[in-house]
Amino acid sequence: MKIVVLIKQTPDTAELPKVAAEEVKSGTIKATMVINPWDEFAAEEAIQLAERFNGDAIALSVGAPGAVDALKHAVAMGVGSAALVDNASLRDGDIWATAALLAAAVKAQGAVDLVLTGKQSVDDNSGTVFVGVAGKLHWPLLTNVIKVREIADGVVTVERLVEGGQETVSAPLPAVISVAKEINEPRYPSFMGIRKANKASIPTLSAGDLGVVTPANKTQWTNIRKPEVRRTQVNIIGGATVQEKAAKLVDALLAEKVI
């Protein structure tokens, strides 16, 4: 059984607020780059499934040369091998071109049974690249999965969260799965794992290597900007007792017509 986990390198979430519009425009982000936190759950699940079903886990990423560090993190966690797809032919926010590259990279791994990934990246926030990967591969897609219940007889059965409910769904393999935070608790890389990752050879593939002609952009990002920060003058409600403060606040909120 061969399991691929798709990984993105993204800014450390603690540094996201400091990212400047100019950095996004130029594509040169100064923040510390780490493995996208949502993808850690996918990497953990790939490792667990590889153990459970005696398979191999492979991590793939589309990114700049530095993104190899995110792949090394996955290898240090316990993913067997990794490959990077060079993103030189891509522009920001190009969902389908990214998906085309990832789908081709998945195919290049041979007979893959399952592709796992996180629910979205913390930078582009599209949550749709895996939809494109499933679409390009013509494989079924199961999103927001919180438990892989069974893989047997060429069918995967999962539990997934949807608004207002929980579903048990099955689909024939090969399939694409996006995982939710509830699925597991990602492990920290062990000392041995980090040593293994540092020695691992992680090849870089280009769009040309994969035989992908990057499709033309369907969307452009323009007028990239910081959101306006609302600076409010807070009205601190005073009063002799907590009851008096509560009454004054309720007066104010009723006058605002938000109740």
Partner 1 sequence: MSVLVWIEQMNGQAVASSWEVLGKARQVADDLGAPLVAVAMGADINATAELARQYGADLVLTITSPVLENYRLSAYAAGLRRAIEEVEAVVVLTSATTRGRELSAAVACELEAGLAPDAVDLRVEADKVVAVRAIYSGNILTDVTFDSPVQFASIRPRSFPMPEAGEAVAELQPLDLGVNEDQVAEKVLEVKSTDTGEIGLTDAKIIVSGGRGVAADPVKGFAMVTELAQTLGAAVGASRAAVDAGYIPYRYQVGQTGRTVKPDLYIASGISGAIQHLAGMGSSKVIVAINKDREAPIFERANYGIVGDLYEVLPALTAEFKKRLK
What residues from 216 to 245 belong to the interface with partner 1 (CB under 8 A)? 216-227, 229-232, 234-237, 242-243, 245
* Binding characters for partner 1, 131-150, by CB under 8 A (x = yes): xx-xxx---xxxxx------
- Judged by beta carbon, residue 111 or residue 216, the one nearer partner 1 is 216
Q: Pick from 123, 145, 184, 186: which binds partner 1 (CB under 8 A)?
A: 123
Structure tokens belonging to residue 96:
């389908």
Does residue 37 have a cis peptide bond before it, meaning omega lies within 30 degrees of 0? no
Q: Pick from 152, 192, 213, 250: which binds partner 1 (CB under 8 A)?
A: 250
Question: Within positions 174 to 213, which residues make up the interface with partner 1, using CB under 8 A?
Answer: 181-182
The secondary structure of 57-117 as a DSSP string is EEEEEEE-GGGHHHHHHHHHHT-SEEEEEE-TT--TT-HHHHHHHHHHHHHTTSS--EEEE
Question: Within positions 89 to 118, which residues make up the interface with partner 1, using CB under 8 A?
Answer: 93, 95-96, 99
Residue 32 binds to partner 1 (criterion: CB under 8 A): no
- Judged by beta carbon, residue 111 or residue 259, the one nearer partner 1 is 259
Residue 12 binds to partner 1 (criterion: CB under 8 A): no
Q: Which letter does DSSP use for residue 257 in this model?
A: T
Encoded amino acid at 227, one letter? P
Residue 163 binds to partner 1 (criterion: CB under 8 A): yes
Question: Within positions 64 to 93, which residues make up the interface with partner 1, using CB under 8 A?
Answer: 93
d(Cα 206, Cα 220) in Å, to the nearest integer? 23
Residue 171 binds to partner 1 (criterion: CB under 8 A): yes
* Residues linked to residue 67 through DSSP beta bridges, in sequence order: none
Residue 128 binds to partner 1 (criterion: CB under 8 A): yes
The secondary structure of 2-33 as a DSSP string is EEEEEE-EEE-GGGGGG--HHHHHHT---SPE
- Judged by beta carbon, residue 211 or residue 256, the one nearer partner 1 is 256
Number of residues that bind partner 1 (CB under 8 A): 79
Q: Cα–chain-centroid distance for residue 50?
A: 20
